[in-house]
Amino acid sequence: METTRMHLSSPRARRLAAGATAVALGATIAAAAALGAAPANAASADVTDASLSWSLSNEANAGAYFGGCNFLSAGVAGNSGASAPWTATNPSPGYAASAGNVSIAYPTTAGGTSTPTFATKCQTGDGTTVTPATSTRGVLTLAEGTGTVDAAAGTADIAWDGGFTVAFYGGLTYWSAEDPELHVAADGTGELTATVSGYAASRDGGSWAPLTPRTVHLATLTDVDVTSTGITVSPDWQGVEPASATSLNKTNADWGSWPADFVDFQNETGQSSYWYTSGANDAAAKKPQPISIAYTAAEAPTPEPTTPVTPEPTTEPSEPGTPEPTTEPSEPGTPEPTTEPSEPGTPEPTTGPTAGPTTEPTTAPTTPAPSISTGGTTTFTVGDSVPLRAEGLPTATKYSIVLHSDPVVLGTVTTDADGAFATSVVIPADTPAGAHTIAVESSDGTAVVSLAITVTADGTVVVDPVDTTTAVTTGAAVNTGGTVSGTSALPWIGLSAVAVVALGSVAFIAYRRRVTQQD
């Protein structure tokens, strides 16, 4: 034991140990970088404030030949006891414009919204009573949705607490949906499901019985674009052909249906033919309107590759009580170990391991340029709700959405903390055929971003495919900004770790050369 202690405390032994320590230090940092630079699910983010806005269909908000109108109501309605129009007191709970996380609003021509009441539920936001050919364009909103989104992978799982009711013919027949859930897969397909309940009814009042609650698809989805700020998508419709849609009419080129299990349920409520094309020209009224979902995605934790404490590679191990190696006595003429010469061009080992990696992984993503899109859907009809999603704008700023060339204000929005917004606007039914522009304008009338559209003679609204493609592409690049930052750091960290190992090896070789010369 005595011989061993004397050997370890000799200058030659300490120099050998210092070289080995440098090599081991480099290997340790390399391992730490490899572990710390690639956390699982780095792109996945939690959301706690997701809002879903949807009109369901124009038919669900239209005037009716009996009972005044079809309408949306917040909350799950109680049992009215018979197939009859609702009153202010029956059912109970009955009509409501808000209930928990659910609310109903009617847009106005000035771009705002109004809150309907039982007395005004069959009037537009401007106070005009609707007819079977017009709609209140009511918008249902579910707030406070929670879940996860991964914009890089294109996946999302969000759930909402709360319910709503859809009544036809003033309440002659109605059903409710509770606790919707959205699931989007990496291939862009998705579904919106909910637990539905209601009553078996007939318009002549001959039957009335509670139905067994069940989970059905409110919408099936294709080509869903999941971004870091929201989702806008038009549910599947065209070409959908449920077996239970016995009177499906395929005369119109846009014929289609809501999901099969949803139509099966509506066969029991008495509403089935209102959810698929049963006439030659009713597709525009019955097809599902776009779904808009907005949220704030919490950023994934930034990896900390420098978390392990990095010891100075020049600090030599010593026994307790041994002076620091930079001050201990050395052999006559021998320079201090920390200043001994190294090979030409070899950097000092004290500068290698503590370079750049402490700042690279946290570099902020580049601010995106303003962009706007309709969520991938490029064809609408005048009078439809057109979803709009914009990114790259100043935060917490109010804008007007204006249709040109004859200016018509379609609505107002305020950007969120990420400089984005998601909303829906309606292209007026009297918009003349020709080229138009939907512009997002600041308070002084300056257009900060715009979207070109063309209205055809038959009322079809076609979104400029160049503008839409550009906006979607730009958004995708922005959404992966955080992931790109974290990923781009990997090769840098790896090279730094290799450099540390190399420096340690050089230091070790230098020590060996010196020792050999002295020995």
pLDDT tens-digit profile of 122-139?
999 999 999 999 999 999
For residues 302 and 47, the model is more confident at 47
Q: Are 192 and 171 in contact (CB under 8 A)?
A: no
Average pLDDT over residues 314-330: 50
How far is Cα 347 from Cα 237, in angstroms, rounded to an integer?
A: 67
Of 69-78, 293-302, 319-328, 462-471, highest mean pLDDT: 69-78
CA–CA dist 264, 245 (Å, integer): 8
- Is there a contact between 236 and 219 (Cβ–Cβ < 8 Å)? yes
pLDDT value of residue 417: 84
The pLDDT value recorded for residue 6 is 38
Please enumerate in sequence order all residues whose Cβ is within 8 A of that of 126, keeping only pairs 6 or more positions apart, or say none. 108, 109, 114
Identity of the amino acid at 103: S
Give Cβ neighbours of residue 458 (< 8 Å, ≥ 6 apart): none
Backbone angles phi, psi at 506, to 5 degrees: -60, -45
Q: d(Cα 384, Cα 165) in Å, to the nearest integer?
A: 22
Angle between the N-to-C axes of helices 11-36 and 481-518, in degrees from 0 to 180, rounded to the nearest 10: 170
The answer, yes or no, to whether residue 264 has pLDDT greater than 70, is yes
Whether 62 has a pLDDT exceeding 80, the answer reads: yes
Residue-wise pLDDT tens digits, 383-426: 888 888 888 999 989 999 999 978 888 988 899 888 888 888 88
Helices within 9-122 (DSSP H only): 11-36
Handedness of CA 15, 19, 24, 30 (dihedral sign): positive
Q: Is it true that the peptide bond before 341 is cis, omega within 30 degrees of 0?
A: no
The dihedral built from the CA positions of residue 238, 241, 247 and 249, taken in this order, carries a sign that is positive
pTM of the entire predicted model: 0.59
